[in-house]
Each structure stands twice: as C-alpha cells, then as structure tokens.
Chain A
C-alpha cells in the first residue's frame, strides 16, 4: 500500500516502479534484502523531496497597476519576450500595506507600511505575498535607501510628524534587526521654509553624503522649493556632521529612490546625481534640470562640472540610469503635451534620452511616449537596457535597448487589465 501511494504521489513513479520490480526478484538472500532496504530508503527520500512544492527563483519582478485600481506583482525569468496577464498570474497586493515605493533585493520586497510605524520584509511564496518580519520605524517617512555591505540597509527619510528633520535607520535585513537609528544633524527649515526634502544618499568609505533642500508650503495645493542644492557630509558610522556644501546652479537634488533612480557611480567611482526642479518634484520650473558630480576620491560637489539637461532637451527630466562607458538614460517630460499636475501622470508625454556625461550631448530614443510621472522603469544588464513603456496607443511593453548598437525592439508584453507597469526590478541575481 505504501508503495502504491508513493507511486501515485510523484512524477518519477515509472522509474521507481521499474527499480522496485527488478529488486523484488533479487530478494533471495540476506545481502539482497539489505540492498532492498537501502533502495526503499532511497525511494522514500526521493518521494519526500518531490512532495515539497518547489520554490522557483525568478530573476525579475514587475509591479503592475491595473485599470481597476488593483496592484499586482509579477515574477518572471525573462523580460525579453512573451506576454503576461497580471490578473491571471500576478500576485494581488490587496491585503498588504505595500505600494510601489519599495526596495527589492534577492527575492524579498521591503516597504515602510502606510499606516503602521513599521518597516516590513515580504516574500512571495506559492502565489501569495506574505510578511516575513518587521522592525519599528516610528515617526519615519522613508524617502531613500542605500545598501551597505551584505544585508546592511541604510534607510533615510523625514520625521512624519512635521517633516522638518531627516532621520536614519540602519537595518540588518536578514534577521530584520535595527543596528542603529537617529536624527541626522541637518539644520531645520530656516525662515519661510516649512519642510525638508531628502533626495540623495551616497556612501564613500567612511563618509555619508545626504543631498537635500527645503520646501515652502504656499497653500493646500501649492508649494515651492529653495533655489539651493545642499549636500551634507557625515562621518560614518558616527553620523557626525562634517560639512555642508551649497550650490545654486539647480535645486531639488534627486527624489525618492524607492520610486525611481536619480544617481549612480561610473566605472571610476565618479558619483553623478541629477536635480529635479520640474513641477512634479521641486516645482521650481524656472531652474534647469542638471547633473552634478562628486569626483572619485573627493568629498564635495565638483564646481567645474554641471550638465544642464534642460538646455538641449528644452524640458525637465526625472529619473536617470547608468548604462556604462560614460553613457546614461534620462526620462524627460513634454510640457507641450500635459496641462498640469492633474494629467502629468495619466498623459503619455515622457521621452527617453541617451546622454553622454562627458560630451554633454543628448540623443532621443525612438520609443513610444510613456506615461506615469515617476517609475522604476529601467534595468541595465550588459549592453542591454530593459525599458518599461506605458503607451496610450501601443500597449504596455518592455523594450530592449542596446546602447552599443542603438537597436530597439519590443520584448515582454503586459496585457489584460494592465494600466501602468509601475516598476521593474532585478529580483534575484544569478
């Protein structure tokens, strides 16, 4: 009976049956009996292994906002081809406090809960997203993160009681324990300014850089931003303030890197970051979108370098991804196509540009106009950039851009009820 159950319970039944049949004919001596018992143990081992659900590791994850307002997470091994339907194979995110402002690493999703003072680690198992563990994150609004060595994660954000302070939490994500937390000694909003915005976090050996600026709330629906980009330098791990660099060539450094990327290091560890004074972030459209640099080995903004992106593109940009060889992608709005903040996210008006950091030249990519104000929509692997495009007329696709050859082609399609591909991430590295 046991054998029959075993046979029925796994896909290797034919193989096992043949082995068992040949073995039973051999039971004629004590030696063959011992052999038979060993074989039985092996069968049991094989059977028990095959009864466990196999947890397949996927390389990529996609966060989808559907037309009915529901959020789905999809995991897949290829962005290069095929078609996925979120409501068919996606994981519904209805029962978790997780939106698209998340951190994705090695099979796990991390998010600051909307309503609870918790920072939570999630995992998708057998088509269900479940909490793994949480740590306390009281009076904290997550804005940026930085992975230190291994599983050490630095979270930087505002105090959510009045948004006048910048705080940090250092988390060991494997065990989900807090190593350190506190306030960063950055001056509170001076004079007319009402809140502080952190947009860049970068670590260089024992130095932590925090890019920030100040906002002035003008009314329930209006605000403005200081004309200055601030870059504070702290000693790490002491978190002592060492220096604050000020620069008025542009303002609103970076943004929320839980939603979209705004900075990178090149192969020589020159650090580049963009500013976003457009209406969707700094709301200082009189200032240009620019790219700043902190040269390798330096501890301050390079006063000799500034790439004014608004000059050649004639618009403001949000989002920047490094390709390699001094080339990067930026995502730029088209102010002639949207009316204001109300349709900034729903109108397809975004274009992608290949930029040369050294030569300060730009080249528009021949892609459909994209919609969604801010999105983690680019993954770079080798010479290929996977670019998620939400077109109003040509569907939701991952496009493959080879920046060496300039070739562009459609890859994975997101169909069904997909309204926006809100983010794509490298879920596992293998």
Chain B
C-alpha cells in the first residue's frame, strides 16, 4: 500500500482501517537516515522552507501559557502522547510540504546527489528506486524525464520498471524492477558510459570488475 496524501488525510480524520492505520504509522515512525530526503529545486533555500514549516507547526500547537499544569502521575504518559502527536503533525506537514513542492514544481524537481567520500558508498532510498553512489560520485536525476547526468559509479535497483536515459548516451534504457544495474561514467566527453545488469558483471573487463569490488564489494 502506498502512502498518499489521501491516506494521510484519512488517518488524520481517524477514518483509516486497521491495516491502513498500521501502514501510515509504520511510515511515520520508521527511522531511516538514508530514506527519502526532501529534494528542493535549485535556488530554493532549504533553511527558509524549514522555518516556514516550523512556523506552521507553531501556529496550530497549544501555546505553553494556555496549558494546565499536568497531573504529575500522568506527566510521562502525556508527554509520550504529545510526542506522538507532534511527530504525526510534523510528518503530515513534511509530507504536505513535499506534495506542495511536487505539484508546484511540475515537472518534478531535480534530485542532486553527491558522495564526496573517497572510500565509502552512499545509499539513498526513493519511492521508485534505490541508488548506491560509489566514491567520488555526483549525480543529477530528473525525476520527470528519467535523465541522469553523473560522473562516477552508481548501482540502481528499481522498485518498478523505469525508463532511464544517461547524459551522453542517446539511448533510453529499461531498468527492470527487482534487478540491479551498474552504471559507470567518466568525467570527460570522450569517456564511455557503461551500463550493465549486475547479473552480467562477469562479462565486464576484469579491471572494471576490480573497481566495482573495491567500490561496492560486489
């Protein structure tokens, strides 16, 4: 079941079935540092939007002065419940904010990914695919056109069939759900782009395989 704006609204209005409620709560309380980051378009100030969101939260929160002194016995339970409520609210607003940007910036915004580490791999999870960035990799993903401009090395695992084009390559390639693809690209215009299904890695030249072993341990 996918998390949607409608589902969040149903949850907020307490109209969800037990299954739907479970899905929403799992989504809200899941802690995954590598999961969806809010990707803003170029020139948008992240801090400014963050402040706007917190202002929105404050406007609907009960002011401290209006609160009654809490019953000592129920204090911890109330705090816990307030925490949950605040988390839900923050989640709702963040999701709303994301949807707002998605709609406002139609076509969908570009996603900028950078891994400046010289040794570590950076993993990022999106709704439609997971991507692992090899060391020293920069990528710009146009989520509307499926165009990826990057230098370095990527592993892409689509969660649904995706048509992707890589900058410098004229061909649109079908990336199949459930399979993993290795993509390598150099910095200069003379560098070729290598795209290969992970299951065919043994067909790559050994020197490229060695590089993948070093980067991704595959």
- With contacts A69-B197, A114-B218, A346-B200 taken as known, whether A221 is within 8 angstroms of B192 at the C-beta atoms is yes
When distances are taken between beta carbons in the complex, the residues of chain B under 8 Å from A372 are 203
Asked if residues A223 and B217 are in contact (CB atoms below 8 Å), the reply is no
A-B contact pairs, 26 of them (CB 8 A): A69-B178, A71-B199, A114-B217, A114-B218, A141-B210, A141-B213, A158-B210, A163-B207, A195-B210, A217-B211, A219-B186, A220-B134, A220-B137, A220-B184, A221-B191, A221-B193, A222-B192, A255-B206, A280-B203, A280-B205, A340-B192, A342-B195, A342-B196, A345-B196, A372-B203, A374-B203
Decide: A341 and B196 in contact? CB cutoff 8 A: yes
- Hey, which chain B residues are within 8 Å of A218, CB to CB? 186, 191
Chain B residues with CB below 8 A from A354, complex form: none
A92 at the interface (CB under 8 A from B): no
A308 → chain B closest CB, angstroms: 22
A345 to B200, CA, bound (A): 8
**CB within 8 Å for A223 and B207 given contacts A259-B202, A345-B196:** yes
Q: Give chain A nearest CB distance to B188 CB in angstroms.
A: 7
Across-interface contacts of A256 in B (CB, < 8 A) = 206
What's the dominant secondary structure at chain A's contact region? loop
- Chain B residues within 8 Å of A, Cβ to Cβ: 134, 137, 151-153, 178-179, 184-188, 190-197, 199-200, 202-208, 210-211, 213-214, 217-218
- Identify the closest chain A residue to B184 (Cβ): A221
A232 to chain B, nearest CB (A): 18
B196 nearest in chain A by CB position: A342
User: Which one, A141, A220, A255, A373, contacts B185 given CB within 8 A?
Assistant: A220
The 10 closest A-B pairs by CB, nearest first: A219-B186, A345-B203, A373-B203, A221-B184, A69-B199, A221-B186, A219-B191, A215-B207, A221-B194, A220-B184
CA gap between A344 and B153 in the complex, in Å = 20
B193 to chain A, nearest CB (A): 6
Interface residues in A71-121 by Cβ distance below 8 A to B read 71, 99-101, 114-115
Query: Given the complex of chains A and B, what is the CA–CA distance between A163 and B137 in angstroms?
Result: 22
CB <8 Å contact, B218 and A100:
no
> Which of B178, B199, B206, B217 has the most CB atoms of chain A within a 10 A radius of its CB?
B206
Query: What residues of A have a CB within 8 angstroms of the CB of B137 in the complex?
Result: 220
Given contacts A114-B217, A221-B184, A345-B196, 16 further A-B contacts (CB under 8 A): A65-B200, A69-B199, A163-B210, A219-B186, A220-B137, A220-B152, A220-B185, A220-B191, A220-B211, A221-B194, A222-B186, A280-B205, A283-B205, A341-B192, A346-B200, A374-B202
Q: Cβ of B178: which chain A residues have Cβ within 8 Å of it?
A: 69
A167 nearest CB across to chain B (Å): 14
Q: Are A341 and B186 in contact (CB under 8 A)?
A: no
CA of A192 to CA of B108 in the docked complex: distance in angstroms?
44
The complex places the Cα of A219 from the Cα of B194 at a distance, in Å, of 12
The interface residues of chain A lying within 8 Å CB-to-CB of B208 are 221, 223
Question: Interface centre among A217, A223, A340, A341, by most B CB within 10 Å?
Answer: A341
* Known contacts A101-B202, A221-B194, A340-B192; A160 and B186 CB within 8 A of each other: no
When chains A and B are docked, how far (Å) is the Cα of A220 from the Cα of B191? Answer: 9
- A272 and B42 CA atoms in complex are apart in Å by 60
CB <8 Å contact, B191 and A222: yes
Report which residue of B184, B187, B192, B200 has the largest number of chain A beta carbons within 10 angstroms of its beta carbon.
B200
Distance (whole angstroms) from the CB of A90 to the closest CB of chain B: 16
Cα distance A348–B153 in the bound complex, in angstroms? 27
Contact in complex: B187, A219 (CB < 8 Å): yes
> From residue B179, how far is it (CB to closest CB) to chain A in Å?
6
**From A198, which residue of chain B is reached at the shortest CB distance?**
B206
The residue on B at minimum CB distance from A340 is B192
Return the CB mask of A195-207 against B: 1 if under 8 Å, else 0. 1010000000000
Contacts of A215 in B (CB 8 A): 207
Q: Shortest distance in angstroms between B40's beta carbon and chain A's nearest beta carbon?
A: 27
Tell me the nearest residue of chain B to A419, going by C-beta: B199
With a cutoff of 8 Å between Cβ atoms, the chain A residues found around residue B197 in the complex are 69
Least distance between B174 CB and chain A CB atoms (Å): 12
Query: What residue of chain B has the Cβ atom nearest to residue A160's Cβ?
Result: B213
Residue of A at shortest CB range from B199? Answer: A69
A101 / chain B contacts, CB cutoff of 8 Å: 202
